[in-house]
Structure 1
Amino acid sequence: MTDTGAADPQTAIDAETAAGARERDPRIEARNAGDVGEGIPFIGAGPGDPGLLTVTGRELVEDADLVVHAGSLVNSDLLEEYCADAETVSSIGKDLEELVPLMRDAYEAGRDVVRLHSGDPAIYGAAVEQMDALEHEGVPTYIVPGVTSSFAAAATLRTQLTLNGVANHVAFTRPQGKTLVPEDDHIAEFVEMGDVTTCVYLGTHAVAETMDRLLDAGRDPDTPVTVVYHASWPDEDVIEGTIGTIGERVEAAGYRASALVVIGDAARKEGYERSYLYGDWANRGAGESGENDTANGEADD
């Protein structure tokens, strides 16, 4: 990284980030999430299926000279289909001291550079720290959103993460580990609320331990849990169970990574109430005029 006089480059990056947090970045008004900008795009590759890469993301990777990608978390079929003419580099095992100069030097040499994350960079993507480091080096960056695995899992299960009368809220979380200390683990609290669909990322290796902690916290062992391995990939697999049984079933299947854990009734879509969007039956209690939120073009769901 460029030496700005600070003993530790990270100190300078943190100072720049803190200064920027005190006032709105002018680029927020200059572009929206659908615009292609100047610099290196951080693109969500989607959950796996190449068809679930956004149109903008596909166009950018097809035109790229260098694609730095998230290794095996990005389907090799996607790389072969859209990045055949680009140099591809896996980020697995590389730290920022290696990745940032790699992308910076390629960009400054006039090459089109793309940083390809799995799913959506906004969900456990560790994108911002890379973007801040590149901005510190004078390289502009921006985000192109993608489809996160929770949405692919819901599509596979032919359900919604929110359902009237079942789940009004969705929690994206992860299990305890190096990043999440026990006092910051709120999975048991989300499950206790009852009307929350809890989506656990990065926790395939710890399903059994997570369920044991839920049981120790007094959660109902019959609470439905569905694990979707490699959502949208050719080898996708769905394992159904409960808080009391799913740990043993995932261990029997041998999966240790790349699965999304969905806790709650929405995965089974049982007992949901119909919305007020469709049909005369939904107008009950609306009076003779028939006016309601739907008539005003507003959705209640």
Structure 2
Amino acid sequence: MTETTTNDDAARPVATDGGDDPQQAIDAQGERRREELDDRIFEHNAGDEQEGIPFVGAGPGNPRLLTVAGKELLERADLVVHAGSLVNSELLEEYCAHAELVNSVGKDLEELIPLMRDSYEEGENVVRLHSGDPAIYGAALEQMDALEHEDVPTYFVPGVTSAFAASATLRTQLTLNEVSNHVAFTRPQGKTLTEEEDHISEFVGMGDVTSCIYLGTHAVRDTMDRLLEDGHDPETPVGVIYHASWPDEDVIIGTVGTIADKVEEAGYRASAMVVIGDAVTGAGYERSFLYGDWANRGSSGSSGETEASDD
């Protein structure tokens, strides 16, 4: 396994010319997307093996939570461009020991796009490996658009996002009858999100929403202070799951009023999923209709089949 991590590493020369500026490529692909849908939308299903560079979700951390499709692609890869320490090194060792590894941290599109393009055009199997699921705060589409503009096809391979690993650790559901009918994947205000674009308080105020906060470990106190200032119940349950599914996973349970002190005491500033809402404890839910007599209404006999839903 060869790890390439520095910009001046000689193991693989990086092209710096011969292609459009990535931003121009992104803009061009965006305009094209407004005008017409990609034919591949109707030709392939998620999970299909396709032509091009797959953008694979590595899952939340534990190598066993990598999908079968992701595992197969990694085992055939010649080059894996991965998201640095956000991907568990055990996963890289288990599935990518034969491949050249390039850490994408610290590299911009002007480096990454020619690197992946040139490798693909040389006939190598290239995999772009994102943490969690690349569709959730993954910044994948801009890379894919830039590659597509260079006539390099790409496609998504879904992964398990950290909110799902967190709910598994908490041994609860993110949606529970009469407790939480909705789930919000969100992030707090900061460099990327303005104060007006931060809707965490609104989600919590709805009452039946489980709010899963990504990229917000450093802002737990600020977030909780704003919730208290907005008049939200300080006893609302909050779970903070650090490194969900990793060997050093840690779980902190508290409330809107107490969780900030607990997180600061633990010393975590990154890499934790923050879950707010009554679903954190799983208390107070009502039995669903799915497995009761309601599900069998209209059945003409023991041999009849009735499709039930939890609606």
The two structures have a TM-score, normalised by structure 2, of: 0.90
Tell me which residue corresponds to 1:17: 30
| 1:12 to partner: Cα distance | 4.3
- 3-state DSSP class of the match of 2:254? strand
RMSD value over aligned CA atoms?
A: 1.9
| d(CA) in 2 for partners of 1:34, 1:283 | 31
| d(CA) in 1 for partners of 2:19, 2:111 | 15
| d(CA) in 2 for partners of 1:94, 1:57 | 23
| 1:117 to partner: Cα distance | 0.3
1:104 partner letter: R
| d(CA) in 1 for partners of 2:135, 2:64 | 20
Contact 1:2–1:137 (CA<8 Å) still a contact in 2? no
| 1:13 to partner: Cα distance | 3.0
Contact 2:175–2:183 (CA<8 Å) still a contact in 1? yes
| 1:267 to partner: Cα distance | 1.1
Tell me which residue corresponds to 1:62: 75
1:125-164 matched pairs, under 5 angstroms: 125-164=138-177
| 1:15 to partner: Cα distance | 2.5
The partner residue of 1:33 within 33, 43, 46 is: 46
| d(CA) in 2 for partners of 1:165, 1:111 | 52
| 1:88 to partner: Cα distance | 0.7
Tell me which residue corresponds to 2:307: 297
Identify which range, 16-25 or 235-244, moves more after superposition.
Answer: 16-25
- 3-state DSSP class of the match of 2:238? strand
| 1:21 to partner: Cα distance | 2.3
The partner residue of 1:255 within 251, 264, 268 is: 268
| d(CA) in 2 for partners of 1:189, 1:113 | 42
Tell me which residue corresponds to 1:101: 114
Identify which range, 9-18 or 258-267, moves more after superposition.
Answer: 9-18
Contact 1:283–1:290 (CA<8 Å) still a contact in 2? no
Q: Structure 2: any 5+ residue segments left out of the alignment? A: 1-16
Q: Structure 1: any 5+ residue segments left out of the alignment? A: none
2:158 partner letter: P
1:298 partner letter: A
Q: Provide, for residues 170-204 of structure 1, a one-character-per-residue CA deviation record: whole Å limited to 9, x for no partner.
A: 00000111111000000000000000000000011
| d(CA) in 2 for partners of 1:290, 1:160 | 33
The two structures have a TM-score, normalised by structure 1, of: 0.93
- 3-state DSSP class of the match of 1:78? helix
- Pair 1:228–1:9, CA change in 2 (3 A): closer
Q: Percent identity?
A: 72
Contact 2:179–2:284 (CA<8 Å) still a contact in 1? yes
Is 1:119 aligned with 2:129? no
2:232 partner letter: R
Aligned residues: 293
- 3-state DSSP class of the match of 2:77? coil
- 3-state DSSP class of the match of 2:212? strand
| 1:239 to partner: Cα distance | 0.1
Contact 1:228–1:239 (CA<8 Å) still a contact in 2? yes
| 1:295 to partner: Cα distance | 6.2
| 1:220 to partner: Cα distance | 1.1
| 1:9 to partner: Cα distance | 4.9
1:102 partner letter: L
